[in-house]
Amino acid sequence: MSAFSAIGDGQPTDQDDYTPELEPQATWCPGCGDFGVLKALKGAAEELGRSPEEMLLCTGIGCSGKLNSYFDSYGFHTIHGRSLPVARAAKVTNPGVEVIAAGGDGDGYGIGGNHFMHTARENHDMTYIVFNNEIFGLTKGQTSPTSPKGHKSKTQPSGSAKEPLRPLSLSLNAGASYVARTAAVNPNQAKEILVEAMEHDGFAHVDFLTQCPTWNKDAKQYVPYIDVNDSDDYEFDKTDRREASDMMAETETALHEGKVLTGRYYVDDSRPSYGQEKRAIGEMPEEPLAERYFDDSYEWER
Ligand code: SF4
């Protein structure tokens, strides 16, 4: 969170506080990894005591974009690839709000790739969850930026000729101050990582492996997975950029060889966030620009 404290009592009673009447089964397919993201997010919000009115969830377009239909908080379902600029504006004007942006690999690494790079570079204080199922799901399985080389789809029937994008490495090199990968099949780790990401001051990028059994049938289910922070086979210092970079490179290569590595890869608690830097040089007021969420008389309505 930012230097500003959020409003509200911060004490939701349980996960029902984030559960609207609309059920995700209405649109998400059975076995979809998106359910795991929703579960982890509810668990993290509950653990941190964030009430729905303290949170803003900005989503892009795709199956993942429906997340804010199933998570009760303030929400903004943006256009394709544009969750990050909306989230940035919201955080700048309401520094006390817990801002989360979310979208798929096609939405965030493809359509919105430029925003991803520059939001990381500027270290905006937010959590960015990318549902990475290595295809475009909602539009029926087209090749995405993270599809492995050789992956066959309707748009690449002979197999993709391109090397996939490496999102962890890209994020690190662009300037993100927290970078992690988790998987929908690992709900405990996923929740812990989202808790850390939401507590982190700066851009926290969580690449969330989410299986798509409907359109990516040949792809892995992301099991078994290995937590690189808990395994004796992997040793690196996640506060050291070079060691983190090497570990990310190994992880991203391993995924396309069928080995699923997850964990926290890079954590830099020393770098100020965009808002902190702007306030330090006097380009942003100390007080929030928007008062609405800080007005006790404002009544939260579902
Ligand atoms: Fe999930 Fe794939 Fe179904 Fe979309 S199409 S809801 S990503 S399983």
Cα gap 38→44, rounded to integer Å = 10
Using DSSP, state whether 74 is helix, strand or coil.
strand
H/E stretch holding 135 reads strand 135-136
Per DSSP, helices labelled H in the chain are: 34-48, 67-70, 83-93, 105, 113-121, 167-174, 187-199, 241-255, 274-280
28 touches ligand 1 (CB under 6 Å):
yes
Which of 98, 107, 54 is closest to 78 using CA atoms?
107
Q: Let me know if residue 183 belongs to a domain.
A: yes
Cα gap 65→79, rounded to integer Å = 9
Which amino acid residue places its CA nearest to atom 5 of ligand 1?
A: 137
Number of domains in the chain: 1
**Cis before 224 (ω within 30):** yes
Q: Could you tell me the CATH number of the domain that includes residue 237?
A: 3.40.50.970
203 touches ligand 1 (CB under 6 Å):
no
Q: Let me know if residue 290 belongs to a domain.
A: no
Q: Let me know if residue 297 belongs to a domain.
A: no
Q: Let me know if residue 103 belongs to a domain.
A: yes
Give me ligand 1 centre to Cα 220, in Å: 14
Cα gap 188→170, rounded to integer Å = 26
Dump pLDDT digits (tens) for 23-69. 887 899 999 999 999 999 999 999 999 999 899 999 999 999 999 99
Q: Let me know if residue 296 belongs to a domain.
A: no
Cα gap 52→98, rounded to integer Å = 10
Cα gap 11→17, rounded to integer Å = 10
Q: Let me know if residue 135 belongs to a domain.
A: yes
29 touches ligand 1 (CB under 6 Å):
yes
Q: What is the pTM of this model?
A: 0.92
Give me ligand 1 centre to Cα 25, in Å: 11
What's the complex ipTM? 0.99
Q: Let me know if residue 127 belongs to a domain.
A: yes
Structural domain for 226, as ranges: 15-285
Dump pLDDT digits (tens) for 103-125. 999 999 999 999 999 999 999 99
228 touches ligand 1 (CB under 6 Å):
no
The length of the chain is: 302
